[in-house]
Structure 1
């Protein structure tokens, strides 16, 4: 299973999101810290879940980081997070 698939599966199970996009951006970081041949080191995610209702941005990031602790301690060097509750303004833009 790819790291992207593992991230997607774990977030889906933990947060039952209405929307979830996980993008491997490793190719954008070639030659930078944390990049490895084969990629799967730098990810961007956009998630919309009722679990984030009433939570601050930092609380949302902490919840996600806790679910992905194994990946963050291992192969994932960077994770850009955009987490929203349903009905909040914005999109993947």
Structure 2
């Protein structure tokens, strides 16, 4: 199974109202077709009343195998449904890669 597919499948356990997993590896100094850098946008009612660090910990726990191996970077944008609606259903763009000699 591809890493992106594995991430998507595991994050479904958090009962997302919205889930988007983007492979941003091509924006970094890695070989073609790499799956090392990801951006996750996840909206879940399970995050209600939860501080951001606790939300991140839930995602890290779900993706422990990927983070211990092939995934080098994981940008997390985690929202409750009301936060997502209030924010216009958008998340920040990722910064350009500044490493790897590019």
Specify every segment of 5 or more residues in structure 2 that has no aligned partner in the other structure, as ranges.
92-102
Separation in 1 of the partners of 2:31 and 2:16? 30
State the shift of 1:36 in Å: 4.3
Instruction: Name the SS for the 1:87 alignment partner.
Output: helix
Asked whether the equivalents of residues 16 and 45 of structure 2 are also in contact (C-alpha less than 8 Å), the reply is: yes
Alpha-carbon offset, residue 92 of structure 1 = 2.8
Matches of 1:36 and 1:16 in 2, distance apart? 33
Match of 1:19 in 2: 18
Q: Distance in 2 between matches of 1:4 and 1:18?
A: 18
Whole-Å separation in 1 of the counterparts to 2:26 and 2:7: 18
The structure with more radius of gyration: 2
- In the other structure, the counterpart of 1:5 is 5
Q: Which residue of 2 aligns with 1:54?
A: 49
TM (normalized to structure 1)? 0.88
Alpha-carbon shift at residue 58 of structure 1 (Å): 0.6
TM-score (norm 2): 0.81
The list of structure 1 runs, each at least 4 consecutive aligned residues, that deviate by more than 6 angstroms after superposition, is none
Work out the CA distance in 1 between the residues paired with 2:15 and 2:31. Answer: 31
Cα distance in 1, alignment partners of residues 37 and 55 from structure 2 = 19
What is the aligned partner in structure 1 of residue 100 from structure 2? Answer: none
How many residues are aligned here? 88
